[in-house]
Copies of this chain bind each other. A is one copy, B any other.
Amino acid sequence: MDVHPQIQPLAFLLGTWRGEGQGRYPTIADFAYGEEIAFAHVGKPFLAYTQRTWALDDQRPLHAETGYLRRTAEGALEWLLAHPTGIAEVELGSLDGATLRLRSVGVLCTPTAKRVDELTRELTVDGDELRYELHMAAVGEPLTFHLSATLRRVRDRG
């Protein structure tokens, strides 16, 4: 199936990626994690995104997130995301070469979720290597570094 022309500039993301990351936040202990990310398409102008992480010691599941990355006719990025921690968000941003930069413009939290106020993501692909950094404002902390990871493409086309 052909990639929709509107997301052809994002086709370098397609596939399944595996690697490891490090996290820290002022309110918790530093941690490391394994991670798998997949970007897939169905011929329409968006990528389906899934992500899951696990503990490096016993492989127990940690975080996950899922959603859709859109690219508008004008080239803007729109990322819709749901998190099992009780968060749904919309991030807007732009594509610069093989680097995506996004910032949340709306974050919804369920009544029992730990409050998240803002997220920013920078994601870069260099051949078969994907790196990202995520900053987060949450539980009363200002926008602060939270996660970085490096992954390798393990399968093409998600």
Contact = CB atoms under 8 A, between A and B. Distances in A.
B67 A110 contact: no
Give this chain's copy count. Answer: 2
Contact of A110 (B48, B70, B88, B111): B70
A100 interface: no
Chain A binding site: helix, strand, loop or mixed by DSSP?
strand
A67 B89 contact: no
Classify chain A: how many residues form its interface, as a range. Answer: 35 or more
B61 A111 contact: no
Interface of A: 42-44, 46, 48, 50, 52, 60-61, 64, 66-68, 70, 72, 76, 78, 80-84, 86-90, 92, 105-106, 108-113
Given A50-B66, A80-B108, A82-B88, 11 more contacts: A43-B61, A46-B84, A68-B83, A68-B84, A72-B112, A80-B84, A80-B87, A80-B88, A86-B90, A89-B108, A90-B108
